A = this chain, B = another copy of it.
Amino acid sequence: MHRSRCLSSRAISDAESESDNKMMKCLSCLEDYRSRDAGTCKECYEEANETEEELKREIEDLKAKVAFLRFWSPLDHLHNRSNAPCFTDVVLIASGDGAEGYAVPLPAHKAVLVSRSPVFKAMLENEMEESRSGTIKISDVSFDALRAFVNYLYTAEACLDEQMAYDLLVLAEKYQVKHLKSHCEKFLISKLNWDNSIMNYTFAHQHNGKHMIDAALSVIIDNMDKLTKREEYMELVEKDPRLVVEIYEAYMSKQVNTAACKDWSVK
């Protein structure tokens, strides 16, 4: 009887360890998995599915709203050489960078400019020279960048490469078009690396790109041992040493934090 008890208890213990390894089928990927790799119960799985469907419906609704609110740009008319009137009441002209010689005026609507930019709003609503003449000169910008800028004000879309993102960020900051500025910052942050970090850090400071400053600073701090050897570093020390000080301050602050974390984890 004693032996049989022993046997039966070993059998139970075998079965228990089997039960830990018991295979279940995942309702999502339909693969088998062991109980220790379990994720959710059925109810939560079903709720998560519903949530995902709801979020996708919300996305579809918002996309339809964007499509409805998006303006055709008067530049499409320019491009398509359509004869239909656009009812534009102002033109923008790129000046600077030798652009004036062949600058094509870009037609626009005062109402759109005013709606998208508080700077245009102040300019056009207060009967300044630009409002009377119906011509707004934009300095230090290429024709292509200005065209992309105007297009963004109508459509909230821009086809970016790095140069275009720099140009549009400058315009967005100058005319306080926050949505475009954030779009350019996100793009440039996605292109950040050690090689362009100091240049981007300086650029972001010049044009008040706060997210970009933080992102560039983070890349620079991760490469502090190589910093002083870079040409851009030496240029920055020469031109704007306060920005260099900020780098060192951020580095020191990170070091202090890391040390505090280590102390805390040891305790």
Complex CA gap A124/B62 in Å reads 29
A51 at the interface (CB under 8 A from B): yes
CA gap between A10 and B5 in the complex, in Å: 12
A43: B residues at CB distance < 8 A: 29, 33, 37, 39
* In the complex, per-residue mask of A22-38: 1 if CB is within 8 Å of any chain B CB, else 0: 10101111010101011
Provided the pairs A29-B41, A38-B41, A109-B111 are in contact, do residues A59 and B55 lie with their beta carbons within 8 angstroms?
yes
B66 touches A62 (CB 8 A): yes
The interface on chain A, measured as residues whose beta carbon lies within 8 A of the other chain's beta carbons, has a size of: 70
Closest Cβ of chain B to A259, distance in Å, is 32
Q: B-facing mask of A56-72, CB < 8 A → 1, else 0?
A: 10110011111111111
Is A12 engaged at the interface, CB distance under 8 Å to the other chain? yes
Q: Which residue of B lies closest to A179 (CB)?
A: B68
Residues of B within 8 Å of A125, CB to CB, are 84-85
Residue of B nearest to A68 (CB): B179
In Å, the complex CA distance between A124 and B64 comes to 25
Which has the most chain B C-beta neighbours within 10 Å: A26, A38, A63?
A38
Chain A at the B interface: mostly helix, strand, loop or mixed? helix
A46 interfacial contact with B, CB 8 Å:
yes
Instruction: Give every chain B residue within 8 A of A11 (Cβ-Cβ).
Output: 8-9, 11-12, 15
- A33 — nearest CB in chain B belongs to which residue? B41
Q: Give the Cβ gap from A82 to chain B, nearest Cβ, in Å.
A: 9
Residues of A that sit less than 8 Å from B by CB? 3-5, 7-12, 14-16, 18-19, 22, 24, 26-29, 31, 33, 35, 37-48, 51-52, 55-56, 58-59, 62-72, 84-89, 109-112, 114-116, 124-125, 156, 179, 182
A-B contact pairs, 16 of them (CB 8 A): A4-B4, A7-B8, A8-B8, A11-B12, A11-B15, A22-B35, A26-B38, A29-B40, A29-B41, A38-B42, A39-B44, A69-B70, A84-B125, A87-B109, A87-B110, A109-B111
Q: What 10 A-B pairs come out closest when comparing CB atoms?
A: A39-B45, A19-B19, A4-B4, A15-B15, A62-B62, A28-B44, A33-B41, A69-B69, A68-B179, A26-B41
